[in-house]
Chain A
């Protein structure tokens, strides 16, 4: 069995392109498939249709039906066969159509994808990427707007990342495919085609490593930490706060498992205050973990308890109510005020 050729992270076109998040992921998939013929895409409607969000647009036309598989309608089938393909030496990239439909595949993810490497003392590598459009704000029916990432971050053996901008969308996709570990990539679906989030993607640049967090806006009054679609909410809140003279630091978590909280600790030691923002329900979630770790590491620096702005501990509501459910600029600023008043 020939070992798969490792793709070099050098970009494909070698040009700077102005892209949305969706187009950046599409380019990353294309580049990865050009660099390594073991990279294949599996998913429902990913071929002719290009995916329901058009993220795989044009790939089947250029790479053929054995590289871009329009699969039967079965999520366990997508993940379970990807495991076998990975054992065979392929690097499968699975698209789950919406996060709410990942659960038929949850068994395969937890029982096989996450554990095969450990079970076999490293003999079996599982270089699978599972792409998951997640989050709300698109006015959808039930099961199309959820944030289940904490369920996966809790599983040892998996790596979980989430992008908030086009540059990261490109590089994180490339790096996830290159990783010999299984990576779940949670993509902020409502930002896929957001024109005002277009960015210059330089495919020849040297990217940050996959599993690091990043300060995306410096400040000194309080720290906001978020990931995926909530990063933009926090940046907008920081802009609004600045107009009132309050300087907020914003950290894009980027990696949900393993967590890279060193930048958060460093920031909290300067600001003394932390607000974690996420669309997911709060109980037993990533924001719980962040709060626990920050109080452990920054106990004497904290001027206020760690606070959070999250979805409620309810199922995702009917979309007519989602504006109440989702963390927005006002809720974030309100919570910043509570922290500052401590």
Chain B
């Protein structure tokens, strides 16, 4: 691993230090499988078996993470997974229109989300329920999107968590602009600097908006961390359909650091994101993080992954589970006992039951909601449409339909 100094603003032609395992030009030309770990260095602090791996570069960024902090990260991941599974079930039961599962991506989301400070801003796509949790956005605030009763109206300023963006890649540019604003306002330059993080997937890296976000952030030294959760699949398309090259290596072409982190290692995700945010805070410009992870469930509840991927792959990734490795580490090191794990499981059960109760009792929005907040200023045309439609509905008052 290169030293932190080498990760600061790269000289032209420099960039992330070369690694021994870097592909040869011949390999690239032959079409490198971007999803193979063998061709790229992976930052890892906690192995799938729960062993702590030392890292000269990143250990300082998690020196404050003691057993209690690890237990909190464990709790985060368990609760978020439980809410995710409950929501998936509620979709199957007809209570939600759709669900977007995050199963398998808990470490990437909790680790990166817990690296943020209140003054930072996060721009999610639509799968970042775990990041939302770390920003204090309750699942009950999110679930309306999937209940199809609203588009997501939480207080983004209060939470430092922008609304979900469904169009692939749009938010990467929006986040870049926001980060430019932080810089223009003089909020970067030291330890107290602000930063922005934006989440997107491996599929989004093919979008023009992501390319433009990379270009703009580099040109304006915008304090934005590009957090790509490479979960190996864009619905049915594998990552090699998006890239010949490990995605983190693209950063070099734009002139800023790129790094691949084990996206199933919550500690490494926390450390690497803290480091990247530090780079931004100090005014060194953007960083690309590729969190190498796996989407253990479908793209959404409308998807059928059995049609396009092998169960062998799923089994392989089950062994790298993000929660199990923390549990093993805590149990083996005496950081937590059986009582603790049972307590968290019980908390997850009641958390899910509350969510379930909330969803089952969610009222539908009234029809006048259709016309609300299209514009900031009053709209006589819409007001007339609203009045006309509501009076039309009044004609049915008292009837069965």
The distance in angstroms between the C-alpha atoms of A1 and B118, with both chains bound, is: 13
The answer to whether A88 touches B374, judged by C-beta atoms less than 8 angstroms apart, is no
Whether B212 and A76, one on each chain, are in contact in the complex, defined by CB atoms closer than 8 angstroms, is yes
- In the complex, whether A81 has a CB less than 8 A from a CB of chain B is yes
A258 to B380, CA, bound (A): 9
- B165's partner among A81, A112, A123, A127 (CB-CB below 8 A) is A112
Known contacts being A76-B208, A116-B163, is A84 close to B376, with CB within 8 Å?
no
* Cβ–Cβ < 8 Å partners of B162 in chain A: 87
Given A80-B176, A81-B173, A81-B177: A111 and B167 interface contact (C-beta under 8 Å): yes
A154 CB to closest chain B CB, in angstroms?
Answer: 14
Query: Given A76-B209, A117-B375 in contact, is the A87-B173 Cβ separation under 8 Å?
Result: no
For residue B193, CB closer than 8 A to chain A, the reply is no
Q: Which of A83, A123, A124, A127 contacts B177 (CB 8 A)?
A: A83
A76 CB contact (under 8 Å) in B173, B175, B182: B173
| Bound Cα distance from A259 to B184, whole angstroms | 37
**Docked complex Cα distance between A122 and B184 (Å):** 25
Q: Which residues of B contact A104 (CB under 8 A)?
A: 208
Q: Which of B116-137 contact A (CB under 8 A)?
A: 123
Query: Does B368 belong to the interface (CB within 8 Å)?
Result: no
The stretch that binds A, out of B151-159, B323-331, B356-364, is B151-159
Contact A108 B376 (CB under 8 A): no
Chain B residues positioned under 8 Å from A81 (CB to CB): 173-174, 176-177, 180, 216
User: When chains A and B are docked, how far (Å) is the Cα of A289 from the Cα of B120?
Assistant: 46
By a CB distance below 8 angstroms, the chain B residues around A108 are: 170, 173, 209
Say if the beta carbon of A156 comes within 8 Å of chain B: yes
Q: By the criterion CB–CB under 8 Å, are A90 and B216 in contact? A: no
On chain B, the number of residues with a Cβ less than 8 Å from chain A's Cβ atoms is 43
- The answer to whether A119 and B374 touch across the interface, beta carbons within 8 angstroms, is no
Count of interface residues, chain A, beta-carbon cutoff 8 Å: 45
Which of A1, A66, A77, A258 sits near B216, CB closer than 8 Å?
Answer: A77
Q: Name the residue on B nearest A74 (C-beta).
A: B212
Binary flags per residue of A316-336, CB closer than 8 Å to B gives 1, else 0: 000000000000000000000
Chain A 98-127 per-residue mask, 1 if CB under 8 angstroms from chain B, else 0:
000000100110011000111111111101
Residue B24 interfacial (CB < 8 Å): no
Pairwise interchain contact B377-A181, C-beta atoms closer than 8 A: yes
**Interchain nearest-CB distance for B126 vs A (Å):** 12
Say if the beta carbon of A199 comes within 8 Å of chain B.
Answer: no
Closest CB in chain B relative to A71 CB, distance in Å: 8
Give the distance in Å from the alpha carbon of A122 to the alpha carbon of B170 in the complex.
20
Contact (Cβ within 8 A) B170 A111: yes
Q: In the bound complex, do residue A117 and residue B178 qualify as a contact, i.e. CB atoms below 8 Å apart? A: no
Whether the Cβ atoms of B156 and A123 lie closer than 8 Å is yes
| A157 sits at the interface (CB 8 A) | yes
Chain B residues closer than 8 Å to A131, beta-carbon distance: none
Interface of chain B residues 163 through 210 with chain A (CB within 8 A): 163, 165, 167, 170, 172-182, 184-185, 208-209
Give the Cβ gap from B218 to chain A, nearest Cβ, in Å.
9
In the complex the two chains form, is A258's CB within 8 Å of B381's CB?
yes
Q: In the docked arrangement, what's the CA distance between A226 and B170, Å?
A: 35
Q: Determine whether the beta carbon of A84 is less than 8 Å from that of B170.
A: no
Asked whether B373 lies within 8 Å of A80 as measured between CB atoms, the reply is no
Q: Is the CB of B173 within 8 A of A120?
A: no
- Partner of B178 from the list A88, A112, A120, A180 (CB cut-off 8 Å) is A88
Q: Is the Cβ of B177 less than 8 Å from the Cβ of A120?
A: no
Chain B residue numbers with a CB within 8 Å of A82 are 177
State which residues 166-194 of A face B: CB under 8 Å. 179-181
What's the least CB distance linking A220 to chain B, in Å? Answer: 28
A140 CB to closest chain B CB (Å) equals: 26
**Inter-chain contacts of A80 with B (CB < 8 A):** 170, 172-174, 176-177, 209, 212-213
Identify the closest chain B residue to A84 (Cβ): B177
- Across-interface contacts of A111 in B (CB, < 8 A): 167, 170
Question: Is B1 part of the contact surface with A, judged by Cβ < 8 Å?
Answer: no
Q: Which residues of A contact B170 (CB under 8 A)?
A: 80, 107-108, 111-112
Against A, the Cβ 8 Å flags (1 = close, 0 = not) of B216-237 are: 1001000000000000000000
Q: CB of B372 within 8 A of chain A?
A: yes
Asked whether any CB of chain B lies closer than 8 Å to the CB of A218, the reply is no
Known interface pairs A84-B173, A84-B176, A84-B179; A74-B215 also in contact (CB < 8 Å): yes
CB distance from B124 to the nearest CB of A (A): 13
Q: Which residues of A contact B184 (CB under 8 A)?
A: 40, 66, 90
Q: Are B151 and A120 in contact (CB under 8 A)?
A: yes
Residues of B within 8 A of A40 (CB): 184
Q: Are A120 and B213 in contact (CB under 8 A)?
A: no
User: Which of A84, A90, A159 is the most central at the interface, judged by chain B CB atoms within 10 Å of its CB?
Assistant: A84
A43 at the interface (CB under 8 A from B): no
Bound together, the chains give a CA A182 to CA B137 distance in angstroms of: 28
User: How far is it, in angstroms, between the C-alpha of A97 and the C-alpha of B320 when the chains are bound?
Assistant: 51
Contacts of B59 in A (CB 8 A): none
A87-B212 in contact given A121-B150, A159-B375 (Cβ < 8 Å)? no
Let me know if A72 and B212 touch, CB within 8 A: yes
Q: How far is the CA of A175 from the CA of B172 in the complex (A)?
A: 30
28 A–B contacts, CB within 8 A, in A order: A77-B173, A77-B216, A80-B172, A80-B176, A82-B177, A84-B177, A84-B178, A84-B181, A85-B181, A86-B177, A87-B174, A88-B177, A88-B178, A89-B181, A90-B181, A92-B177, A107-B209, A112-B170, A118-B151, A119-B163, A120-B151, A120-B152, A120-B163, A121-B150, A122-B376, A123-B157, A258-B381, A259-B381
Known contacts A80-B213, A81-B174, A181-B375; can you find 15 more A-B pairs with CB under 8 A? Answer: A40-B184, A71-B216, A74-B216, A76-B173, A90-B184, A92-B177, A107-B167, A108-B209, A111-B170, A118-B374, A120-B152, A121-B150, A124-B163, A157-B374, A179-B377
* List of 7 A-B pairs having minimum Cβ-Cβ separation, nearest first: A84-B177, A80-B173, A81-B177, A88-B181, A84-B178, A180-B376, A77-B212
